[in-house]
Chains A and B, each alone.
Chain A
Amino acid sequence: MEPPSADVHTADAATPPGRAEAVTELFRRHNRALVGFLAARLDSEAEAQEVAQEAYVRLLQLEQPGAAGFLRAYLFRIAANLAVDRLRRRSVRARAPMNELFEEWLDTPTPDQRALADGEVRQVAEALRQLPREVSSVFVMHVIEGRSLQRIARETGVTDRMLRYRVARALAHCRQYLDGEASR
C-alpha cells in the first residue's frame, strides 16, 4: 500500500496544515502493525488494507489537532470502529444456513483468504494430537468452530484468560509444526 498522498489531501480544504506530514509519518512507522491489528480482527488482509486506508483518510480530515501520540491513538480508534462496522455488516450477511454448525461464525472468511490445503490441515491435525486434549479442543472450538472464548468459558468453567492462553499455545505449536514440515 502506498503512503496516503499528501498532494491529494493538501488540496482538500478539510486537511489541517501539517497533518499530512504527521499522518505520513504514522503510516511509515505503524502501518504494518495497524494492518496486522485489523487483519486479526477482520480475518482478511484485503479488508484490513481497505479499512486502514479509510482510517488514514479520516485522520487527515480530523478537525482537532493533537500531538503525534494522540494522533496515533486516534488512528487505532478510528480503525477499530471501522472494523466493528464491517463485522456488523458482515454478520448480517452471514446468517446463512451453514451457521447451524458454526453458530458463532461472526467472521465469515472473505474470498481473498488463502484457505489451508488438505495436506496442511492434516499436518495441523498431527500437531494438535501432540497437545493435551484441553488445549487442542479449545483451539478447534474457537478457531475452527468460531465459538467465542467467553462462551467456552461459561461451559467449561475455565477462565477466558486461560482459554486464550491455550488457544495461543496451540496456534504457536501448529505454526512451528507446519514450518518444520515445510523445511523438511
Chain B
Amino acid sequence: MDNWKAHIKSTFEEIDSANNVSASELNSKWRIVEAGIAKKKNKILWIYSGGIAAALVCIILLALVNRNNSKIIQNIVQTKSEQKKIVKENQLYKKNNSEASKQEFLPFQKQLIKNTDTNTSEKIVTINPIQHKIDSNNTPIVTETITAKISTRTKKPKRNSVFLSNNSKKSSENKVAQNPKIKLSDLIDLDKNGRHANAQREDRNIIKH
C-alpha cells in the first residue's frame, strides 16, 4: 500500500474511533432501531397468523363440502330404499284388503309443497308416506318423507257459453232501453222471427210429443 494511502486511512480510522456520541442520543437512536426491528417481527407474525387462518378456513370448507356430499349420498340411498319399501307395502295393502290390514296401513297423505314453475303444469308434491304401521309394542313406525316431482294436468276453463235466462233477457232489454243504439238481437241469440232460442227448443219439444 502507498504511504499516503495508509496515512490517510489510519488518520480517518483514528477520527472515527475518537468520535463520541452522548448516551441520550444513543438511547434515542436505539429506540428507532428497535422499533424498526419490531416492525419486521410484527409483519412476520401477521403473515404467519394470516396463513394459519386461511388454512383453517380451507379445512372447514372442505369438511363442510364432504359432509354435504355424504349427506346427499345417504339421502339418495335412503330414498331409494324407502321407495322400494313403499312399493312392497302397497302391494301388501292391495293383497290384504281386509279390515285388519286397513287398520295397519293407512293411505298416503298427499301434500302440496309449492309450485316451482307456474308456466308448466308440473308441480312438486310431497307424498308423505306416514304409514301408521304398528310394531309389536303398539307404537307407530314413522318413515321419512320423500319428495317426488309429478305432473298434473290443469283443467282448461270452459268457454263462457251464451246462455241467457229470463232474468238475463230482462236485463238485456233494460240495457237496450237505457241505450237505444244497442239492438236486442246483438245481445240475445234470436231467430229470424225474433224469437229466443229457448222458446224455439220448447216449440220443438211440443211438436215431438
Asked if A and B are interacting partners, one says no
